[in-house]
Amino acid sequence: MSGAKPQALVLDFGGVVTRTLFETHALTERALGLKAGTLDWRGPFDPASDALWRSMQADEISERDYWKTRTREVGQLVGEDWQDMSTFVQRARGADPQAVVRPEAGRAIRIAHEAGVRLAILSNELDLFYGASFRERLPLLSLFETIVDATYTKILKPDGRAYAMVGEALKLPLEACVFVDDQKRNVDGAVAAGMLTVHFDVAEPARSYAEALGHFGLTLS
Model confidence over 24-68: pLDDT tens digits?
999 899 999 999 999 999 999 999 999 999 999 998 998 889 999
* Strand duo 196-199 + 118-123: pairing: unpaired
Using CA atoms, how far apart are residues 83 and 4, in angstroms rounded to an integer?
Answer: 46
Question: What does the pLDDT read at residue 94?
Answer: 64
- CA–CA gap between residue 204 and residue 200 (Å, rounded): 8
**How many residues would you count in the chain?**
221
The per-residue pLDDT for 55 is 97
Q: Which of 105, 10, 20, 101 is nearest to 63 (CA)?
A: 20
Domain with CATH 3.40.50.1000 in the chain: 8-18+101-214
Q: What does the pLDDT read at residue 5?
A: 86
Tell me the three state secondary structure of residue 148.
strand
| Three-state secondary-structure class, residue 93 | helix
Residue type, 67: W
Q: pLDDT tens for residues 151-194?
A: 999 999 999 999 999 999 999 999 999 999 999 999 999 999 99
Measured CA to CA, the distance from residue 87 to residue 32 in angstroms comes to: 12
pLDDT at 211 over 90: yes
- What is the torsion angle, in degrees rounded to the nearest 10, for the CA atoms of residue 168, residue 187, residue 19 and residue 122? 10
> Hey, what long-range contacts does 136-144 have (CB within 8 A, 24 or more apart)?
137/97, 138/97, 138/98, 138/101, 140/17, 140/101, 140/105, 140/106, 140/109, 143/109, 143/110, 143/113, 143/119, 144/119, 144/120
Q: pTM to 2 decimals?
A: 0.92
**Cβ–Cβ contacts within 10 Å for residue 128, how many?**
19
- The H or E element spanning position 11 is strand 8-11
Number of helical (H) and strand (E) elements in the chain, helices listed first: 11, 5
Q: How confident is the model at residue 176, as a pLDDT? A: 98
d(CA 147, CA 136): 13
What does the pLDDT average to over 138-151?
A: 96
Average pLDDT, the chain: 94
What pLDDT score does 3 carry?
59
Domain 8-18+101-214: assigned CATH number: 3.40.50.1000
**Angstrom distance (rounded) from CA 125 to CA 122:** 9
